[in-house]
Amino acid sequence: MPDMLDIIIGVFLAYYWTGLDMVLFHSKQSPIDQPGYVHKGFSPKLIAGLFWPYTTKINQEFLWYSVCFLSCLIVFTFAHSFLVPFVGSTGLTVLIIGIVRVVPVISAIVSIPLSILAMILWIFIGKPFGGQMPRGIN
């Protein structure tokens, strides 16, 4: 069972990765579908990522990214609580989670549970509250 530190680290990682995923998703869309902050350089992208709840509210994607945040929160909290006893260091554990999240071949270790959990949460939370997927996904 995760303790308070695991939950705090999970919230931090989930908030960071959700903002980063939002910026990367919008940056890869076709130019017609991209929000304005994508064309303005690094600083606006950083600010949009830091304030992703506000940015997604403006882009009408708040429910989508909230479900992604919840999914990340659950997976990262349990990953941290599982790895800390083996690794022994919170900083090293966060580094390992970050590396596993971005390395293409082994990122499936994190991406598959994230996707499955997000899909389940979307079915039970997103759709009943009238949420719609971002336009660029369709």
pLDDT digits (tens, 9 = 90+) for 52-66: 999 999 888 999 999
pLDDT category of residue 138 using cuts at 50, 70 and 90:
low
- Domain presence at residue 133: no
User: What domain count does the chain have?
Assistant: 1
Domain assignment of residue 135, yes or no: no
How far is residue 40 from each of residues 30, 45, 47, measured CA to CA in Å? 16, 8, 11
Give residue-wise pLDDT tens across range 24-63: 998 888 888 788 888 888 898 999 999 999 999 988 899 9
What mean pLDDT do residues 129-134 have? Answer: 84
Which structural domain, as residue segments, surrounds residue 107?
A: 4-126
Q: Which pLDDT score is estimated for 8? A: 95
Assigned domain for 15 exists: yes
Residue 137: strand, helix, or coil = coil
Q: Say how far apart CA 101 and CA 81 lie, in whole Å.
A: 16
Which pLDDT score is estimated for 113? 93
pLDDT at position 122 is 94
